[in-house]
Amino acid sequence: MSNQLSEKTVSALLKLQRNEMTEYYVYRKIASRTKDAHNREVLTRIGEDERRHAGIWKGYTGIEAKPNRLKVFWYSLISLLFGFTFTLKLMEKGEDRGTEKYIRLVDEVPEARGISEDEERHEAQLLALLDEERLHYVGSMVLGLNDALVELTGTLAGLTFALQNNSLVALSGLITGISATLSMASSEFLSARSEGRKDALKSSIYTGIAYLITVALLVLPYLLMPENAFWASLITMLVIVVAIIFVFNYYISVAQGLQFRSRFLEMAGISLGVATLSFVVGLLVKQFLGVDV
């Protein structure tokens, strides 16, 4: 049947065919790891639709398209790290671009319209799937992450200039960070309990984990670099701060459909602003108190 189509159309169909097979394997892998029976059933059904679509394209191209194994591995890895909601939303962004291609193919391939409608239905079904535990505790993670970024960024920036010794900065940062982690987790637990929430413990755990991971990442440059490389450690720490803010806000923007740019700029501005002010405080303390380590 491909000899009745233009070369450009056949090329487009081959790309779509391979993409459908790739997504079939991704859906199947994610479904196999999904504990919720309803979510697993819907994911499996959508995956089978993708395979059926690939079969329709094969009828036109006459070629057995292979999935993109690298993409299958990549999306499977992302689903393990960030959850299936984020992964599927990321895939749906790609499908939005694909839907436009389907519309352009309708004149030569009538089935393209039906497949386009299938893809739109997939998006609606995936939105209804958003019942992933970690997304229920985004507020707790934001609390832990944001507090750790603001407090530790400022503390480490101030200590860097005041102490000018990576070992001392790392030691002080770890003590401060671990203490603050326990304090923040306890506060979240008590706050949730006072609101009568049954998930108070789990909420405090998410808050504490987000805080502790942030502490570890920010202190890491001071632990790995030589004692006198405190300027390099400070710059690296600030780069890590921006990277953490970027990754976290991108995750939230994709998983929950929120705006990325304004949230990223706001969070980065607060953290880096506090770091700058704390650095000035460290400078003043060293200058006027005559502290010299």
CA distance linking residue 114 with residue 21, whole number of Å: 18
CA distance linking residue 278 with residue 284, whole number of Å: 10
Inside any domain, residue 253: yes
Inside any domain, residue 249: yes
Inside any domain, residue 197: yes
Inside any domain, residue 102: yes
CA distance linking residue 79 with residue 73, whole number of Å: 10
Do 161 and 283 fall within a single domain? Answer: yes
Do 174 and 139 fall within a single domain? Answer: yes
Do 81 and 51 fall within a single domain? Answer: yes
Domain boundary among 131, 164, 183: 131
Q: Which amino acid is at 236?
A: T
Q: What is the CATH number of the domain that holds 114?
A: 1.20.1260
Q: Which amino acid is at 165?
A: N
Do 70 and 148 fall within a single domain? Answer: no
Inside any domain, residue 293: no
CA distance linking residue 237 with residue 177, whole number of Å: 14
User: Quick check: pTM over 0.85?
Assistant: no
Domain boundary among 106, 131, 156: 131
CA distance linking residue 159 with residue 148, whole number of Å: 16
Closest to 243 in 3D by CA, of 268, 274, 261, 279: 268
Enter the tokens of residue 1: 């049947």
Do 86 and 166 fall within a single domain? Answer: no
Q: Which amino acid is at 160?
A: T
Inside any domain, residue 6: yes
Do 202 and 76 fall within a single domain? Answer: no
CA distance linking residue 126 with residue 129, whole number of Å: 5
Asked if 142 contacts 249 with a C-beta cutoff of 8 angstroms, the reply is: no
Do 188 and 282 fall within a single domain? Answer: yes
One pLDDT digit (tens) per residue for the chain, 293 residues: 555 777 777 888 888 889 889 989 999 999 898 888 888 888 888 888 889 888 888 888 888 888 999 999 999 998 888 888 788 888 877 655 556 666 677 777 777 777 777 777 766 666 666 566 666 666 667 767 777 787 788 888 878 877 889 999 999 999 988 988 888 888 888 888 887 878 788 888 888 888 888 899 999 999 999 988 988 998 999 899 888 888 888 887 877 777 788 888 887 888 778 777 776 776 676 666 655 54
Domain residues for the domain of 241 are 134-288
Do 125 and 138 fall within a single domain? Answer: no
Helix ranges (DSSP H) in the chain: 7-33, 37-61, 69-82, 84-105, 111-128, 133-136, 138-163, 166-194, 200-224, 230-256, 261-288
Dihedral (Cα; 243, 248, 251, 255), 10-degree rounding: -170
Inside any domain, residue 222: yes
Do 61 and 174 fall within a single domain? Answer: no
Do 207 and 265 fall within a single domain? Answer: yes
Do 143 and 280 fall within a single domain? Answer: yes
Asked if 111 contacts 53 with a C-beta cutoff of 8 angstroms, the reply is: no
Do 282 and 143 fall within a single domain? Answer: yes
Say how many domains are in the chain: 2
Inside any domain, residue 116: yes
Dihedral (Cα; 149, 152, 153, 158), 10-degree rounding: 160
Domain boundary among 131, 162, 181: 131
**CB-CB neighbours of 291 under 10 Å:** 11
Please report, for residues 129, 144, 153, 159, 211, the alpha-carbon distance to residue 284 in angstroms, rounded to integers and kept in the order given: 54, 29, 18, 12, 29
